Structure 1
Amino acid sequence: MRTIKIKWKMILLLVPVVFLVIQIAGSFFFYELAIKRGEKEYLQKNADLEVSAESMALYTKGQWKDWVASQKFEPMNIVSRDGMQLSGYYLGASMPTNKLVILTHGYLGNAKQMGLFGQYYHEELGFNIFMADARGHGKSEGDYYGFGWPDRLDLIDWTETLVTKLGADTEVVYHGLSMGAATVLMASGEEELPRQVKAIVADSPYKSVYQLFAYQMDRMFHLPAFPLLDSTSLLTKIRAGYLFKEASALREVGKTNVPILYVHGNADTFVPVAMAKELYQHTNSEAELYLVDGANHGESFAMQKAEYKNKVQHFLGNYLNLVAEK
């Protein structure tokens, strides 16, 4: 009888130990999978990221790529608040203007991929354009991905640097895609956001890092968020300096005074359209929601280019004088 009791005590002691080991191992696995800088093979054949052949042709062989290659971008660098060298590219408008768009790319992307939108702003709207490599991407330093949260402060610092360069009367538009959309939304509610930021376009945003990962864990691995996602968040705090729940675009748009145009594909299965709808509903400032039928994640511009451009121009026209820039 005593032997049985001892065995049960050992089992009861081992259960939490085994659970803890699994949590720690799982946290490191998911950190390596999503947060640590490097190639992410699991995304290469992800059905949730599949787009039409026409969209893929635009992304990989579109004329905008030749346009980007032919431009004489001015390389720019700043040091982040935590000491990272960050890289970006500036292109002045063909005619003098005080309009500037700062374009922010998505997860695993790089600055010049936003030339897909940059060509439109530069050639058709007459803007100065700036595109930065987010920390952990492109030529910028960083051994982790910030999913918009530390990046929001980098964005504010880039904005201040560019306003100093171009003048205090500069009118700034933020235009972000996916992670870049979350970045501009996370910056939108910050008290130190420069007054020159007049409007935001957020294409395919998620409402928080925690909710994005919770959705992906369920969809890709059929796992509940708690407790594994919470332990991964703690590891991310130790290694990258942020918690998943604090990285909330939803909370920030509830404080913002900057007008926001939300764009999302109704067929997006990577970041569900419900997130954009909730962001729109909770936005403190003037906001519009533009949904594109049949578009998957980040595919809206490719599927409805003319309508997309018209929506953006009409929205920006409410807050900036675009007539003289056309």
Structure 2
Amino acid sequence: MKKAKRITELAVPALTVTGLITSAEYLYRYAFKRVPEVPPTSADKQKYADQYYAYVDWLHQQPTQEWYLNEDTAYQLVATYVPAEQATTKAVIIAHGYKGNGETMANYAKMFHEMGYNVLLPDSRAHGHSAGKYITFGWLDRFDYLRWVDDLIKRLGQHSQIVLFGVSMGGATVEMMSGEEMPSQVKCIIADCGYSDIDDELSYLLKRTFHLPKYPLVPAVSFINWRRQGFRLKQVSSVKQLRKNKRPIFFIHGEKDVYVPTAMLNDNYAATQGPKEKWIVPDASHAESFWIDPAAYRTHVAAFLNRYIENPS
């Protein structure tokens, strides 16, 4: 609340050049700078806390491995690997949400593990145990996850069957991956509540949360990010990437999502060029679709996967 109040107070100074620089810098740090720990979940999902920690406990009890990209610790990326109970070529890479980490996806990891998959849980840049000072909202992460794909293939073999799965920022990450050239071992994608592009998402949240207009703050934040990370916010687009996608993709979105509005699902769905399905979950808020009914969620996911993944062991 203090940070939200501070951003709102900066709206008036933003009318001056000096004020704009100050406000944009504060907003940039608020939105892009890594945090030392995972923030508390939203109030509407506090009721799932006991279930959530039970999934985390399950993950801690598994015979996991730590995988790494980059030997230089200043750029090192870390992932947790959960091998399937029976040897299989099936694997899923699970991309976590904004300011989360691989551990926060333990519920999805357990679901896929019970379906017989090897599971890889990366920490994205500037999250968890991975290096990085600033969050890239999936844009640079997409290249990191492509390297995780290559790593899986090296370890599991050329007959690997890989699923890309992500929620929220992770959903956008796998959507953005879809526009890149990927190995044939990547068979399909599941994106839960991913945004259409970060420029629109940031503008939407700025207005909804702080009652501030897009201009001039968002362009100023974009300029700061270009100077620090080498890309402008307009580039960070699931829609543009999905227009190049030919792989099957399953979109999931909560009907009552006010963090990433359902209209963004429609934009993403319209953009993709491959086989596509969507499921709008009644009464679900942002990233709540699994928690409302885990059994129904698993049923929908399994039905999609059964169309594209074979089951050799």
Is TM more than 0.5 here?
yes
Q: Matched residues in 2 for 1:44 and 1:285: separation?
A: 37
CA–CA separation in structure 1 for the residues paired with 2:161 and 2:202: 34
**Equivalent in the alignment of 1:4:** none
- Which whole-Å deviations, capped at 9, do the CAs of 1:98-137 have from their partners, x for residues lacking one? 10100110111111221211111112x1111100110101
Partner SS state of residue 245, structure 1: helix
What's 2:231 paired with? 242
| Mapping 1:234-313, distance limit 5 Å | 234-313=223-302
Residue 161 (structure 1) aligned with residue 158 (structure 2) = no
- Helix, strand or coil at the partner of 1:157: helix
Alignment partner, residue 24 of structure 1: 21
* Offset, 1:141: 0.4
Structure 2 unaligned regions, length at least 5: 1-13
Query: Is the CA contact 1:104–1:181 (under 8 Å) kept in the aligned structure 2?
Result: yes
CA contact (8 A) 1:292 1:304 kept: no
Whether 2:68 is the aligned partner of 1:77: answer yes
Amino acid at match of 1:36: K
Change (3 A) 1:137 1:80: farther
SS in 2 for 1:51: helix
Provide closer, same or farther for how the CA distance between residues 21 and 38 of structure 1 changes in structure 2, counting only shifts above 3 A. Answer: same
Closer, same or farther in 2 for the Cα pair 1:138/1:40, shift >3 Å? closer
CA distance in structure 1 between the partners assigned to 2:302 and 2:166 by the alignment:
15
Instruction: State the distance in 1 between where 2:22 and 2:273 align.
Output: 41
Change (3 A) 1:24 1:52: closer
* Mapped pair 1:89 → 2:80: yes
Aligned length: 300
**C-alpha separation between the residues in 1 aligned to 2:22 and 2:244?**
37
1:72, distance to aligned residue in structure 2 (A): 1.5
Counterpart AA for 1:101 = V
Give the fraction of aligned pairs with identical amino acids, expressed as a percent. Answer: 34
RMSD over aligned CA atoms reads 2.2
Q: Secondary structure at the match of 1:211?
A: helix
Q: Which has the larger radius of gyration?
A: 1
For residue 259 of structure 1, report the CA deviation from its aligned partner: 0.9
**Does 2:139 align with 1:149?**
yes
Aligned to 1:171: 161
Unmatched runs of 5 consecutive residues or more in structure 1: 1-16
Question: Does the C-alpha gap of structure 1 residues 94 and 77 become closer, same or farther in structure 2, counting only changes over 3 Å?
Answer: same
Q: TM-score normalised to the size of structure 1?
A: 0.87
Is this contact kept in 1: 2:84–2:113, CA < 8 A?
yes
Q: Distance in 2 between matches of 1:68 and 1:187?
A: 26
Alignment of 1:47-58 (within 5 A): 49-52=42-45, 54-58=47-51
Assess, with a 3 A threshold, how the Cα gap between structure 1 residues 40 and 101 changes in structure 2: closer, same or farther. Answer: closer
The corresponding residue for 1:35 is 32
What is the alpha-carbon distance in structure 1 between the residues aligned to residue 106 and residue 45 of structure 2?
Answer: 20
